[in-house]
Amino acid sequence: MKKILTLATLGLLSAASFSAQAQTLDGQVLPAEGYTKIGENTSTVHGFGDHGIGALYVKTTATKLYIALTAALETNGNSLQIYLNLPGKTGIAAGQALAASNTTGTSFEKNMAKMDMEVDYAFGVKGGATSSAGSIIDYTKLADGKATDQKTGDLLNVGTAATVADGTTGGFGKTRMAFTNLNTLTAHTAAGGTAAWEIELDKADLGIADNDVIQLFAAQNNGDGGYFSSDVLPAVPGNTAPQTAPIGTNNEGNFATNPDFSTLPGTQSISYTVMVATANRGAVARELDFQVYPNPAYKANIRYKVTGQNDVVLEVYNLMGQRMRTLAAAKQSGTQSVALTDLKAGTYLVKLRVGDQLTSQKVVIL
């Protein structure tokens, strides 16, 4: 029986893993951003030479899910791939060959591997000299046995964030990506190992709720998806190239053409529970200068500060979870002051959301 790899097993869901700082999509994984590392490639030998995968990270905010893969990619068109299984979706079952792509020129064109988890969607980026080509394949939507594969546009290799191409379907219309590529692992390591491919997903558009469990798998592949390197996350136990079959398919440890990951040692998927750490909210309140005063009071004032121009939602709930007031639901900037009046005596929860930052405070009305 395979052992399931989860963040609970790894003990990684500590409050210290999170930060109050708003997310910056710039093709880097920085400590202040509060990413949680969910997988790491510790092998010193890589099947594609001085290129490959470092580590896989995830972060949840109130409205977004962020996935980041630190890596160094050749500029010859070889690719990185991230596979995703979401609750409530039906894609390709574990142990079943992935459906062929309905599009030529992406990193999934010839990929019919068998995965160790259900695969609903996958993201690809193909390395180029100055920019790298992105794509998203939808395994929940098949036509004539082929999956819907969409080219999402080029990503500059210097970490400039880009929204996917207009018309991208399947709940990915708001998806943004950024990719910083230093080409070689030597350069990547020398620069601190922070260069990454970052993906920003909209939770609501994809039906992702807090406490949902998602599964991920990352891989390095060639340009058309027809030849997997040795670098995958989670790593396959014992695959410390160079070596011999049956773990890999050649003596560099590469998994080559259409491998069956469901039959290899270990579990080739990582489970992650989508959640926003409550320990984050006090720090967010300080950053937003969020105050409800006096407290307790017959009438209270709410004060907060919005940096730049940002979407703001300010709401008041009773202790039964019923929304009693919506005091703001628009773009705002600067310092804001709102009067809280006309509430019956009782205890209420004032919730403030500024962009992806969420905080709350109890107030007692006399």
Tens digits of per-residue pLDDT, 202-240? 999 999 988 899 999 999 999 999 999 999 999 888 776
Q: Which residues lie below 8 Å from residue 238, measured CB to CB, with a gap of 6+?
A: 247, 265
**3-state class of 239 per DSSP?**
coil
Burial level of 45, CB count in 10 A (0-12/13-18/19+)?
A: middle
Highest mean pLDDT among 150-159, 238-247, 260-269: 150-159
In terms of DSSP bridges, do strands 228-233 and 213-221 run parallel, antiparallel, or are they unpaired?
antiparallel
Contact present, 115 and 98 (Cβ < 8 Å): yes
**3-state class of 162 per DSSP?**
strand
Please provide residue 212's backbone torsions phi and psi, each rounded to the nearest 5 degrees.
-65, 150
Measured CA distances, 363 to 111, 311, 321, 340 (Å): 56, 23, 14, 10
CA pair distance 220, 165, nearest whole angstrom: 24
22 pLDDT band (50/70/90 cuts)?
low
pLDDT reported for residue 241 = 53
pLDDT digits (tens, 9 = 90+) for 282-315: 778 888 999 999 999 999 999 999 988 888 999 9
323 pLDDT band (50/70/90 cuts)?
confident
H/E segment holding residue 318: strand 300-318
pTM: 0.75
**Amino acid occupying residue 200:** E
